[in-house]
Amino acid sequence: MPIIIKNNDLYAQKAIQDRVKYCRFVKKDVKGKEYYYVQLVLEGNPPMKVNKETGEINLYITEGSVGIDIGTRTVAYCSDTEVKLLELAPEVENIERQKKKLQRKLNRSRRLTNPNKFNADGTIIKGNRDKWIKSSHYIKIQTDLKCLQQKQADIRKQSHNRLANHILKLGDKFYVEKMNYSGLQKRAKKTSKINKKKRFGKSLANKAPAMLIEIINRKLKYFGTEIKKINTYTVKASQYNHIKDTYNKKDLSERWNIFRIDDKEVQIQRDLYSSFLIMNVNNLADKVDRDKCFDKFDGFKVLHDIEIVRLRTSDNVLISSMGI
């Protein structure tokens, strides 16, 4: 099959010059219709995208260290030139209410068309191997739910790619904590009125923080490097105080660190401070380099205060975990 490439698509023209490794078929469901695509897998790294107006390369890295403190719904990053606390994929809407509404419709439809599969109390009959009957109404609702989830996934991926491209321009050494996302998704064993069984499953599903780290790491490999994961248990970025050289365990509700510097009280946002400490780990990435922290703290404080002012004057609704 001949490949048709638009005359103004310089990226595709450069990409197709590499050797084709293999082809694969990709099926996508769009509004209930099935579409098939042929996807070419090419040898080597993808070509760099160029700004058509200026001729500048869109994706590049510079010299410097960048610390990334990733949460379930937010990301804080720190470099020598920029300090930011952002909501992950803010374009992604919370569709839980819409999903539950469609799932209830599916459940009602399933029960009406399959009365032989349920007991009188509404529970499913165990051992019943009769085929499930799906009405045309059921299939339509199922398609609507699938389209809703696919749309959110596409928006989330685009948002993460834009943020990753921006973060990559801040340095060439990137540090992040090792995160056990599967552990955060599990429900708590010990519960009380305060500590409920619910954990962070929905937040992780909506915001996909692990996807952002994977995208950054994949793009870094184009430049022959990769993101460095620090030792969470020895660094303890959320507990360390580089002024006193001490560790203090905090509750999740404590969003600010308070320091005494030259008899003055200084308040630093917790996530931003963690990203600062992560940026200044030693070469083994197993301990915070205290000397680096003292050298760079004044510059970080200036950028930190600018970011706090931006957040406090923002018209957007901020996530409560930011503590702003």
Q: Is the Cβ–Cβ distance between 297 and 288 less than 8 Å? A: no
- Cβ-count burial of 85 within 10 angstroms (0-12 exposed, 13-18 middle, 19+ buried)? buried
pTM of the predicted model as reported, rounded to 2 decimal places:
0.84
Q: Is the Cβ–Cβ distance between 167 and 50 less than 8 Å? A: no
272-286 pLDDT tens trace: 999 999 999 999 989
User: H helices within 115-264, ranges in order?
Assistant: 136-168, 181-185, 201-207, 209-221, 232-235
**Residue 12 CB: number of other CB atoms within 10 A?**
13
Mean pLDDT by 10 residues, the chain (324 residues): 85 90 89 87 87 80 93 94 94 84 95 93 91 93 90 92 94 89 59 57 82 94 92 91 90 87 88 96 92 95 96 88 85
153-205 pLDDT tens trace: 999 999 999 999 999 999 999 999 987 656 555 655 665 555 555 566 677 87
